[in-house]
């Protein structure tokens, strides 16, 4: 790879994530309201379009050859911004899904996402419960959105903590977290872990004018990772076989008592621990950060100030990565996908010169 992959330009909504099918030589791009299929040498094959929600981080499942992604519909500033960007006046209820794309069928452009056999959706009740729930502010007052939950974004497949891949891979979905400085119950990233082996009983096509609510009543596990508050939580979640870690790329927070890193690595080799967090009267399962990168002694948090990753991370599992550099041009949103190599310190080194 002597030059970055160019995604093409795709309207007013920026790239949200990337996924790779190494066996068949395809790469997939999530551009918020559409999914793009391309070859690993840059040829665009086709697209799925017509979403009015937020298609976020995506991941390729080698077991079934499908792309999975987080999809959210909500009437906050993000949801309204998407509707404005695509000039839609559709009204919908708040809802959160994991969607599955049968990407082998993407052989042309502008395939409708809804009411088709290309995309099916599973409703996540746990997310809507927390999104509609209440938390506790610094003054002990009730505040909207439990844990600061703003929905979902990051998604990946990884083993259970303390287990190997031979024990199976599970689907992890990360919360978005509102960047609220007036509360202390939003200082963790939250990872929902699902056994998705029986999701065929829930999955069905999505009608955006009458969205279904078929899905599991609760996740298998709900893990809390203390990072400090961030703006909209985990943007990209990626399991890396090389370091046995789950990487979390975020938009940096602004609380002065935290280092406000933009990238973290979660230790997936150690089993989860149950402890009381800064969430009153709750005992939750927690995961630790890897001792990688910069250590902030005041908060006890490790991480990096890495400028990329929030719009796309992909690990090959051997120390090599693909990372998105998104751009805004007069013709629309696009991205260049660069090859990187893990070095732990920076934490990645780009293998080719970066275009201006």
Give the CATH number for residue 346: 2.115.10
For residue 39, tell me if it sits in a domain: yes
For residue 15, tell me if it sits in a domain: yes
Residue 90's pLDDT band (cuts 50, 70, 90): confident
For residue 356, tell me if it sits in a domain: no
From the list 26, 95, 99, the residue with the least C-alpha distance to 69 is 99
Residue 160 backbone phi and psi in degrees, to 5 = -70, 150
Q: How many domains does the chain have?
A: 1
For residue 244, tell me if it sits in a domain: yes
For residue 355, tell me if it sits in a domain: no
For residue 198, tell me if it sits in a domain: yes
Domain with 211, as residue range(s), is: 5-350
For residue 91, tell me if it sits in a domain: yes
Q: Tens digit of pLDDT for each residue in 120-151?
A: 999 999 999 999 999 989 888 999 999 999 99
Q: What is the mean pLDDT of residues 188-216?
A: 96
pTM to 2 decimals?
Answer: 0.96
Q: Tens digit of pLDDT for each residue in 45-79?
A: 999 999 999 999 999 999 999 999 999 998 877 76
How far is 239 from 124, CA to CA, in rounded Å? 21
For residue 248, tell me if it sits in a domain: yes
């Amino acid at each position: 790879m002597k030059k970055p992959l160019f995604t093409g330009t795709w309207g007013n909504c920026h790239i949200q994530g990337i996924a790779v099918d190494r066996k068949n030589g395809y790469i997939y791009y999530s551009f918020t309201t559409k999914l793009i299929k391309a070859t690993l040498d840059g040829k665009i094959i086709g697209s799925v379009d017509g979403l009015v929600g937020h298609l976020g981080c995506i991941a390729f499942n080698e077991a079934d050859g499908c792309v999975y992604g987080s999809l959210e519909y909500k009437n906050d500033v993000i949801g309204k911004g998407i509707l404005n960007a695509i000039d839609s006046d559709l009204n919908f209820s708040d809802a959160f899904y994991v969607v599955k794309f049968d990407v082998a069928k993407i052989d042309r452009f502008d395939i409708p996402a809804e009411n088709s056999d290309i995309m099916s959706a599973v409703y996540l009740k746990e997310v809507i419960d927390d999104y509609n729930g209440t938390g506790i502010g610094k003054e002990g007052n009730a505040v909207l959105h439990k844990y600061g939950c703003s929905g979902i974004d990051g998604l990946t497949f990884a083993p259970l903590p303390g287990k190997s891949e031979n024990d199976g891979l599970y689907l992890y979905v990360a919360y978005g977290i509102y960047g609220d400085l007036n509360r202390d119950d939003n200082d963790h990233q939250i990872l929902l872990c699902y056994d998705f082996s029986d999701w065929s009983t829930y999955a069905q096509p999505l009608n955006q004018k009458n969205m279904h609510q078929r899905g599991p009543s609760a996740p298998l596990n709900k893990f809390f990772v203390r990072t400090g508050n961030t703006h909209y939580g985990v943007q990209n979640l990626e399991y890396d076989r090389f370091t046995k870690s789950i990487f979390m790329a975020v938009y940096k927070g602004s609380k002065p008592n935290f280092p406000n890193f933009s990238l973290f690595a979660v230790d997936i080799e150690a089993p989860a621990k149950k402890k009381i967090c800064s969430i009153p009267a709750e005992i939750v399962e927690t995961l630790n950060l890897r001792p990688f990168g910069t250590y902030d002694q005041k908060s006890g948090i490790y991480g990096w100030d890495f400028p990329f990753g929030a719009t796309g991370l992909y690990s090959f599992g051997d120390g090599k990565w693909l990372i998105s550099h998104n751009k805004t041009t007069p013709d629309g949103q696009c991205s260049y996908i660069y090859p990187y190599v893990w070095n732990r310190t920076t934490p990645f080194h780009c293998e080719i010169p970066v275009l201006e």
